[in-house]
Amino acid sequence: MRKIELEIVALSHSITQTHSYAVVLGEVNGLRRLPIVIGGFEAQAIAVALEKMQPSRPLTHDLMKNFMNAFNIELHEVVISNLQEGIFYSKLVCSNNDDTIEIDSRTSDALALAVRFGCPIYTYENILNSAGILLDDPGKKTTKAAGTPSISEHEKGTEDDLKALNLEELNTLLQEVLEQEDYIRAIAIRDEINSRKSK
């Protein structure tokens, strides 16, 4: 399977869900986004590395990097390799001398290490197809049809609100939410769209 390179484009905090964050991965040279819900600690670990902050004591992921460096283990790439029941699975591709091995990892931990090592992040086409969100072409203006619901007409939070919308309304709502960079909400809308398509 062909690997598709991703980059971290945003970390988003959810106002509606306590301690819930999304890390948003963007397709390099593409319009697709892959939002992944992560916990607060993991979001902090990624943010610290992205901002190149130096904590007074090493965080867990800094410790892991120091440990790997001490034993000449190199992290070559992170691969988001599977998606099952909404859970992403990842692998760290590492080498030491002549051996290359793949190590299972939580995706949030893998991303925190990828940022620290500056290594590429990849996934596969089938994962982007099932969990990715396609942004409208930024150069193209989108027009809103009369009678199309806006976010204000539908409360932004509950599952019941989404179930009341038809597929076209859900797609319109998804684009509006993406423009506001509310990736947590976008995940819920994407999941509702996917569940209808699979029926």
pLDDT in tens, 94-150: 999 889 999 999 999 999 999 999 999 999 999 999 999 987 755 443 333 333 333
Q: Which value, in Å, is the radius of gyration of the alpha carbons in the chain?
A: 18
Quick check: 158 pLDDT over 50? yes
Q: What is the pLDDT of residue 186?
A: 77
Nearest by Cα to 153 from 173, 135, 136: 173
CA quadruple 144, 131, 32, 36: dihedral sign: positive
Q: What is the pLDDT of residue 5?
A: 97
Q: What is the pLDDT of residue 57?
A: 85
Other CB atoms within a 10 A radius of the CB of residue 12 amount to 20
Beta-carbon contacts of residue 53 (< 8 Å; ≥ 6 apart)? none
Q: What is the pTM of this model?
A: 0.75
Query: What's at 15, amino acid-wise?
Result: I
pLDDT in tens, 12-69: 875 545 667 889 999 999 999 999 989 888 888 898 898 888 777 888 999 999 999 9
Q: How far is CA 82 from CA 1, 19, 151, in A?
A: 12, 25, 32
Q: What is the pLDDT of residue 140?
A: 41
- Cα separation, 175 vs 138, whole angstroms: 12
Other CB atoms within a 10 A radius of the CB of residue 109 amount to 19
Tokens 């991965």, located at residue: 25
